[in-house]
Structure 1
């Protein structure tokens, strides 16, 4: 009567596609390195492998960025980022305050140096 879902979800399917692309990139890198180090190199094969590798790597990077963007959006939707962002903001404020205090101390030191007059000879 009802809808029966497969064991693999859409997320698993996307992950497996990205994982298989990653494996493919690794294999092509290996083949490309092997082709470049052979004594009798075939430049056509090296060019084809280099071009394919370049395209696959850019596709993999775009998929990874898209996944990271979706993960960040999901965290924001669920409110998981608020605590992490608050802790990071507090740590950044501590660092900023430390540097402001340190720099203001140096600034006053240099002002005092400007006010020092050389001793008469």
Structure 2
């Protein structure tokens, strides 16, 4: 009996805002596609939907980047080490060293070719 509210934490609030924005972007994309495929185009509606979609997508990307930046900062503050990133970095270093060795070998091979004199008959 009566109205009760469920307490939400700040994290839940932020996630729900981002999620709702993402859902809104998806819905506007569908409406825009529907408006563009109609036999009688209403260019005013298409322009409004396109502009709204562009602004909403840029806002969503900005929020996602901010969240990723905050997450990386929190990991750095807590001293968490991401093993996947470390393994990927080591893998890139191995590949780079292999390429450097191969390229230096090719470089010396081409230098030797420059020193070879053609046989004149």
With structure 1 as the length reference, what TM-score do the two structures score? 0.87
DSSP-derived class of the 1:81 partner: coil
Q: Would you say how many aligned residue pairs link Structure 1 and Structure 2?
A: 116
Q: How many angstroms apart in 2 are the aligned matches of 1:83 and 1:7?
A: 35
- Relative to structure 1, the CA distance from residue 62 to residue 93 in structure 2 (aligned partners, 3 Å threshold; closer, same or farther) is same
The residue that corresponds to 2:66 in the other structure is: 66
Provide structure 2 residue ranges, at least 5 long, that are not aligned to the other structure.
1-5
Matches within 5 A, 1:12-23: 12-23=12-23
Q: How many Å apart are 1:41 and its aligned residue?
A: 1.3
The change in CA–CA distance for 1:31 and 1:85 in structure 2 (over 3 A counts) is closer
TM-score of the aligned structures, taking structure 2 as reference length: 0.87
After alignment, is 69-78 or 14-23 more displaced?
69-78
Distance 2:32 2:87 in 1: 45
2:32 is paired with a residue of what secondary structure?
helix
Q: Equivalent residues in 2 for 1:8-47 (5 A)?
A: 8-47=8-47
The equivalences for 1:70-109 within 5 A come to 70-81=70-81, 83-109=83-109
Contact 1:35 1:45 in 2 (8 A): yes
Instruction: Identify the residue that residue 112 of structure 1 maps to in structure 2.
Output: 112
**What is the alpha-carbon root mean square deviation over aligned residues?**
1.6
- CA separation of 1:89 and 1:39: change in aligned 2, threshold 3 A: closer
Residue ranges of structure 1 left out of the alignment (5+ in a row):
1-5
* Cα distance in 2 for residues equivalent to 1:88 and 1:26: 33
